[in-house]
Amino acid sequence: MSQRLEDFGQEWVAAWNAHDLERILSHYAEDIVLISPLAEKRLGVPGGRVEGKSALRVYFARGLAALPDLKFQLLRIVPGLGSLVLEYVAADGRHAAELMVFNDHGAVREVRAHYAG
């Protein structure tokens, strides 16, 4: 596996576990599109689609506020071509996986989040 992707995955989890919103957002492109069942629930967004970094900021800030003890445990990084899947144990103990697609500058431009159970 590319060291760059391993480093990205470790840093992504560390940013979340530090509850550092700016550090978390630094991984994402301005034109990010995130699709998540949690976004549908927390934001009331049909289809769970969050578009743009400002909307992502609102979504992530609500998540951090709702889960002050949030802690992710990284399980695996599965590299692809211009993408990766991060598998982790989410704050509620469920298994989660996020498909992240990168732009040409190494920022995440698309995310599709998945949660077990």
CATH number at 53 reads 3.10.450.50
DSSP at 52: S
pLDDT in tens, 35-75: 999 898 888 888 999 999 999 999 999 999 999 999 999 99
Q: Give CA–CA dist 98/110, Å, rounded.
A: 10
Q: Note the pLDDT of residue 42.
A: 83
pLDDT tens per residue, range 46-55? 899 999 999 9
Number of domains comprising the chain? 1
Q: What is the reported pTM?
A: 0.93
The boundaries of the domain holding residue 37 are: 3-115
Residues 8-21 have pLDDT tens digits of: 999 999 999 999 99
pLDDT at 88 over 80: yes
CA distance 29 to 52: 8
